[in-house]
Amino acid sequence: MKVRAIYPGSFDPITNGHIYIAERAAAIFDEVIVSVLVNERKSAAFTVKERCEMARDSLKHVANIKVDSFNGLLVDYVKQKEAAVIIRGLRAMSDFEYEFQMALMNRQLAPEIETFFIVTDPKYSYVSSSSVREIFHFGGTVKDVVPRVVFEKLKTLHKGK
Ligand code: PNS
């Protein structure tokens, strides 16, 4: 039986930390779908289309990774995709409380779906999409923590503001 896993997130934008988690998930599961949340309530720096394009471009080297977007409840989307697993990355203990609560909530909603945590590489333990946006905005260098396509796209964001 082939096991499909969903790696959900805001990916605003995707970072090398996310890519690391997606690659490791793809080495374990038959298919991984990186799924960008369409969240009307939360304002994002990049559109869903842009976030998907950046993710697709930076993960094209992994054959069993696809990129998609979703709205509504994650567990409903996971069922619709006939996936069995939700992937989440952990950077530090401070991530754990929120992640644990989300995993339990999702289990309550859909007990058949498993949440699978992958621990980041220590070199990405401090990397987040929001810090990338902020560092870039104030002129710091983010070249080493985002894929090239994101680095180029950040420049257009900067110009637009
Ligand atoms: O990258 P993020 O912002 O930490 O990802 C959070 C995400 C997208 C996984 C979470 O907000 C989510 O699943 N949202 C969809 C709505 C939902 O199912 N909420 C209940 C989960 S407790």
Domain boundaries, the chain: 4-159
Q: Using one digit for the tens of pLDDT, what is the confidence trace for 62-113?
A: 999 999 999 999 999 999 999 999 999 999 988 999 999 999 999 999 999 9
Q: Which of 39, 46, 74 to probe ligand 1 with, by most ligand atoms within 8 A of CB?
A: 74
Amino acid at 28: I
CATH 3.40.50.2300 fits 4-159, yes or no: no
| Ligand 1 atom nearest to 129, measured from its CA | 1
Sheet arrangement for strand 85-90: 65-70, 31-37, 4-9, 85-90, 114-119
- Distance (Å, whole) CA 92 – CA 114: 21
- Band the pLDDT of 26: cuts 50, 70, 90: very high
Host H or E run for residue 9:
strand 4-9
With contact defined as beta carbons under 8 Å apart, do 32 and 2 qualify? Answer: no
- Look up tokens 């490791």; give the residue: 24
- Distance (Å, whole) CA 24 – CA 89: 10
- Chain centroid, CA 71 distance in Å: 14
In the chain, helix, strand, coil percent, each to 5?
Answer: 45, 20, 35
- Band the pLDDT of 10: cuts 50, 70, 90: very high
Name residues contacting ligand 1 (CB within 6 A). 8-10, 37, 73-74, 102, 105-106
Residue 161 clears pLDDT 60, i.e. is over it: no
Backbone angles phi, psi at 96, to 5 degrees: -65, -40
Q: Using one digit for the tens of pLDDT, what is the confidence trace for 123-137?
A: 999 999 999 999 998
pLDDT, mean of residues 50-54: 98
Residues facing residue 36 across a β-bridge: 9, 69
| Ligand 1: residue whose CA is nearest its atom 20 | 73
| Ligand 1 atom nearest to 86, measured from its CA | 9
Q: Which residue has the higher pLDDT, 36 or 42?
A: 36
